[in-house]
Structure formats: C-alpha cells, structure tokens
C-alpha cells in the first residue's frame, strides 16, 4: 500500500513511514493511493473486536508489519479498554443507537487510535533502533490519550503542552499522574493557540527537529484514522450490515473521515452526518460552499472548538478528484482567511456528508432529555451528536450516533444540565489521590526547547 500527499509534492511513502512522519513534507496529509475493498463483509457479526480490527487494518499496513506483529499490537492496545465489546452499541430509542467509544483509559474515543499507534511505534522503532521525541499540543483529550498510550514505550519521549489553567481537572490529572519517565506534561503560560503556535515553531526549526527526531501524533496522522475505521465495521456488523446512517460529533474531521473510508470499503453507510457545536465552520462550508475561518468561541464541548478542521483537507482532495494542485491552491487561500469550494466538489461533498449545528442551550437540553427518556447521561460532545441525529432519523433506517467521551470527563457541563456531577468509572477512581507531575513553561520557544533537551530520556 502506497501513500500520497494531498498536495502532491511529498515523497510517496509506505504505511510505517507515513505513520512516523505524521504530516507530509509539503504540508499535506497522507492518503492511500487506492482504498482497499473488503471481502466477506457479511461474515463479521459475532467476531471479537480485535479480530475485526485485524481484518480491517491489515490491508492498510502492507508489508510494514507482519500479521503476528499487527495482531500483537491490536491485542495489547485493546486489552486496555474496559468493556468486553470495546465499542458497545446501545439503543437510545427505537432505531437510534449510541456507539460508546469512551471505555478506554482516558475516557474518550481518542484512546482507540492512540493505544494502537503507540504499540505500532514501539515495534517500528525497536526494529530500526531510531529514537524519537513526540511533541503535541492539546486542549485536553488528545494529550491525555497520548500520555496514557506512550507511557513506558521504548525509544520515545512524549511532551504534551496544554494551556495552563484551561483544561478540566480530570483532563489535567490524566496528563500529570502517569509516572513513567518518558512522558512529560507541560503547562504552558498561554492559550491553546499559543501551544499550537509553539509546536509549529519547533517543527519549523529543522536543526532542532532532526536533532531530537521530532514526530507528531495529532489527528492528521493517517495511522490514527485507520484505527478509527474499525468501529464503523463493528457497529454495522452488529446491526446486520444493512443500510444505516452515522452521526459524528466533529472537530478536526478525523473520526467522520474514517467513516467515509469504511463506506468506501463496503460498509453500507447511507449518510454520514457532521455534528458541530457553535464553532460551525464545517456546517457553514457544507451549506454555503464558503470555508471561512472565524473566531473560536469556547463551548461546553471543547474538543470540538476549532477554527480550521485539519482532516477536512482529505475530504477536499477526494471531492476534487485527487487534484493535488487544486488542494494546494485552496490551502494557500486558507492562509488569507478562507476559500470557496467549487460547484462540482461541493456537490460531491454533499453526496458524502450532511451536517447540523447545535447551540449551547440545546446541547444542555439534550443531556436533560436523554437523561429523562433513558436514564443515560451523555457528555456534551455526544449530546451535540444526538441532537443533530434526532433531526435526521428516518423510519426503517438505523441511526448510529458516536458517543465520543464519558460524561465524567466534563462534569461542569453535565452538572449545569442535570444538577449532579457524574462519577468516574471504577478503573479511574484513584485519579484524585495520585501525585501530579507537571512542568510549568513560559510561552517561549527557546524555553521550551531547553526543557525538552533537559528532560529527554532517550
């Protein structure tokens, strides 16, 4: 399997190389040259999650990993998810199902991808003897998933910058309590945008980048998308592989893009619905064809508070028929504030995706409604998804909404909605008693570099 960049100017890579490099050298995102078909799609029901994962992921990894290596990585990764089904499907109302993706160690769907790629990094780095330094910026969920997944992995140090004082206590503790020497939580004096800007500074300093073997595991890493394809297969298998719709709480477009790949592989997905909060650039783009960057308005579903949805570039590339120069042109215009999607590409995107937006009040109201109707407490991101899905449910067609995080990760929003704070699941009960380990760092690239060089264990 060969991977090409959406901007057409970077070397063609294999799976392992695309995984280790994250972003392509031309600034683009890697995609497989062709999407593999899937045989025997109707024979999956009843198989363990790990077996379906192996069958779905295998065609993408090519000769980067042996079957035994891939199976081992999958078993170790998903052994840490505290539910026998891993991604259980749960009926909310007749014809409307919730796909629960929050039973992993950090209580958000990001564990599904991060746990697996940490295992794959481990195998690849052991083989090559290479040592790398992963640096990431997070508004909460990605950083905790990365630290939890990479703690104790050989040949890797992980540094995660989060905005000091601006993540929830559960999110912060998930980053600061793991005690492995190779993971490092950095509280940066600034906003999330400052964290992202300093991250870019590090990657743009090529001496530093090559010196420490800088690598990224943010949501544009193709290997993360691949891991997320699997649960579309498991959900569809348990509903009998008949035509169905999926609604996905969306920020960077990674999770829903994985759904479009599942469909291309043969899963009978009829409509993929993009659910956004008040930061609705994707909903506006699909409605009007204008992709215009505005201000980020902090919301109660913070993991979807984005201005630029990075994985959307992959959907654009496909909608423009693989025209990398057209995509490069759009991305150049994006630097000036936005672009207009061509009529043909917009039509193609609308055949692939529907969209909807939910206000803050309606999100809180939906948490209450679902509590009243079913007793289940949703996290605010999942509530955005359920609210949009309910506008689109059609009789006879199953609707699956992805529940992207556990409510206990966002206790303030849940308390505002229903007047009580959700409890942490039993496997996390000790979180508030563990000692925290965190380095405060100035919003300054030189201070950051010095800290990384001093703390690195590899």
Ligand X SMILES: *Cc1c(COP(=O)(O)O)cnc(C)c1O
Here the tokens at position 103 are: 């039973």
Here the tokens at position 52 are: 């379906």
Residue 117's nearest CA partner among 157, 145, 159, 86 is 145
Of 111 and 245, which has the nearer Cβ to ligand X? 111
Identify residues 213-232 at the interface with ligand X (CB under 6 A). Answer: 219
Q: Which long-range contacts (CB under 8 A, 24 or more apart) does 37-43 make?
A: 37/265, 37/266, 38/265, 38/266, 38/267, 41/233, 41/241, 41/265, 41/266, 41/267, 42/241
- Examine residue 249 and tell whether it contacts ligand X (CB under 6 A): yes
Identify residues 87-116 at the interface with ligand X (CB under 6 A). Answer: 108, 110
Least distance from ligand X to the Cβ atom of residue 403, Å: 9
Block residue for tokens 């509280």: 187
Range in contact with ligand X (rule: CB under 6 A) among 168-176, 251-259, 315-323, 362-370: 251-259
Chain mean position to CA 207: 29
* One of 22, 178, 251, 356 touching ligand X (CB under 6 A): 251
Cα 412 from Cα 429, distance rounded (Å):
18
Of 198 and 381, which has the nearer Cβ to ligand X? 381
110 is catalytic: yes
Helix, strand, or coil here: 183?
strand
Least distance from ligand X to the Cβ atom of residue 219, Å: 5
Cα 187 from Cα 345, distance rounded (Å):
41
Instruction: Tell me the DSSP string of 429-458.
Output: GGGGTSPP--EEE-S-HHHHHHHHHHH---
Range in contact with ligand X (rule: CB under 6 A) among 71-79, 162-170, 199-207, 253-261: 253-261
Least distance from ligand X to the Cβ atom of residue 227, Å: 12
Size of the site for ligand X (CB under 6 A): 16
Within 13 Å and on the Cβ side, how many CA atoms surround 223?
31
* One of 303, 352, 355, 401 touching ligand X (CB under 6 A): 303
Of 276 and 328, which has the nearer Cβ to ligand X? 276
DSSP H or E segment with residue 197: helix 192-204
Least distance from ligand X to the Cβ atom of residue 154, Å: 27
Of 149 and 452, which has the nearer Cβ to ligand X? 149
* One of 261, 304, 315, 349 touching ligand X (CB under 6 A): 304
Range in contact with ligand X (rule: CB under 6 A) among 129-137, 151-159, 192-200, 244-252: 244-252
Task: Check 110, 131, 151, 409 and give the catalytic one.
Answer: 110
Least distance from ligand X to the Cβ atom of residue 257, Å: 8
- Examine residue 404 and tell whether it contacts ligand X (CB under 6 A): yes
- Examine residue 407 and tell whether it contacts ligand X (CB under 6 A): no
Find the angle CA(83)-CA(89)-CA(90) to the nearest 5 degrees.
105
Of 6 and 404, which has the nearer Cβ to ligand X? 404
Least distance from ligand X to the Cβ atom of residue 248, Å: 7
- Examine residue 278 and tell whether it contacts ligand X (CB under 6 A): no
Least distance from ligand X to the Cβ atom of residue 180, Å: 22
Range in contact with ligand X (rule: CB under 6 A) among 235-243, 247-255, 338-346, 370-378: 247-255
Least distance from ligand X to the Cβ atom of residue 381, Å: 4
- 124 touches 441 (CB < 8 A): no
| Pairing assessment for the beta strands 183-188 and 439-441 based on DSSP bridges | parallel
Cα 89 from Cα 78, distance rounded (Å):
17
CA dihedral 85, 153, 311, 202 (to 10 degrees): 160
Cα 244 from Cα 272, distance rounded (Å):
9
What character string, x for contact with ligand X (CB under 6 A) and - otherwise, covers 378-397? ---x----------------
* One of 49, 78, 208, 253 touching ligand X (CB under 6 A): 253
What character string, x for contact with ligand X (CB under 6 A) and - otherwise, covers 139-178? --x-------------------------------------
Block residue for tokens 């399997």: 1
* One of 171, 221, 252, 352 touching ligand X (CB under 6 A): 252
- 83 touches 112 (CB < 8 A): no
Cβ-Cβ contacts under 8 Å for 51 (sequence gap 6 or more) = none
Q: What is the CA radius of gyration of the chain?
A: 21
Range in contact with ligand X (rule: CB under 6 A) among 64-72, 232-240, 250-258, 340-348: 250-258
Chain mean position to CA 157: 21
- Examine residue 302 and tell whether it contacts ligand X (CB under 6 A): no
Instruction: Tell me the DSSP string of 205-243.
Output: -HHHHHHHTEE--STT-HHHHHHHHHHHHHHHHHTTS--
- Examine residue 371 and tell whether it contacts ligand X (CB under 6 A): no
Residues noted as catalytic? 110
Binding residues for ligand X (CB under 6 A): 108, 110, 141, 219, 249-255, 303-304, 381, 404-405
């Amino acid at each position: 399997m060969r991977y090409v960049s959406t901007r057409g100017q970077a070397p063609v890579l294999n799976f392992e190389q695309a995984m280790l490099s994250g972003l392509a050298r031309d600034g683009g995102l890697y995609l497989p040259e062709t999407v593999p078909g899937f045989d025997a799609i109707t024979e999956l029901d009843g198989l363990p999650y790990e077996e379906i994962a192996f069958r779905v992921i295998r065609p993408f990894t090519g000769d980067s990993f042996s079957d035994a290596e891939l199976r081992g990585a999958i078993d170790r990764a998903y052994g840490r998810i505290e539910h026998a089904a891993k991604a259980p499907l749960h009926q909310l109302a007749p014809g409307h199902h919730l796909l629960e993706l929050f039973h992993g160690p950090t209580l958000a769907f990001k564990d599904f991808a991060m746990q697996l790629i940490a295992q794959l990094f481990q195998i690849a780095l052991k083989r090559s003897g290479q040592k790398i330094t992963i640096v990431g910026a997070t508004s909460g969920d990605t950083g905790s998933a990365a630290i939890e997944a990479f703690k104790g992995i050989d040949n890797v140090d992980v540094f995660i910058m989060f905005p000091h004082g601006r993540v929830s206590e559960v999110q912060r503790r998930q980053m600061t309590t793991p005690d492995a020497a190779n993971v490092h939580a950095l509280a940066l004096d600034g906003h999330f945008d400052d964290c992202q800007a300093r991250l870019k500074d590090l990657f743009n300093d090529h001496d530093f980048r090559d010196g420490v073997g800088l690598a990224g595991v943010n949501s544009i890493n193709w290997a993360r998308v691949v891991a997320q394809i699997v649960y579309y297969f498991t959900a569809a298998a348990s509903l009998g592989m008949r035509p169905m719709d999926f609604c996905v709480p969306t920020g960077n477009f990674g999770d829903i893009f994985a759904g479009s790949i599942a469909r291309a592989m043969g899963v009978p997905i009829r409509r993929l619905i993009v659910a956004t909060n008040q930061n609705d650039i994707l909903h506006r783009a699909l409605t009007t064809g204008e992709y215009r960057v505005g201000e980020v308005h902090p919301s109660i579903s913070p993991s979807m508070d984005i201005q630029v949805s990075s994985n959307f570039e992959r959907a654009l590339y496909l909608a423009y028929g693989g025209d990398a120069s057209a995509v490069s042109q759009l991305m150049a215009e994006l630097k000036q504030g936005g672009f207009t999607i061509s009529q043909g590409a917009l039509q193609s995107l609308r055949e692939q995706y529907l969209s909807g937006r939910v206000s803050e009040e309606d999100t809180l109201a939906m948490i209450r409604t679902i509590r009243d109707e079913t007793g289940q407490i949703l996290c605010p991101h999942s509530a955005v998804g359920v609210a949009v899905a309910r506008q689109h449910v059609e009789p006879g067609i199953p609707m699956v909404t992805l529940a992207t995080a556990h409510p206990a990760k966002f206790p303030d929003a849940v308390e505002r909605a229903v007047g009580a704070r959700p409890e942490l699941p039993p496997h996390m009960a000790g979180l508030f008693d563990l000692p925290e380990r965190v380095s405060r760092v100035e919003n300054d690239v030189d201070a950051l570099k010095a800290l990384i060089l001093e703390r690195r264990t590899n």
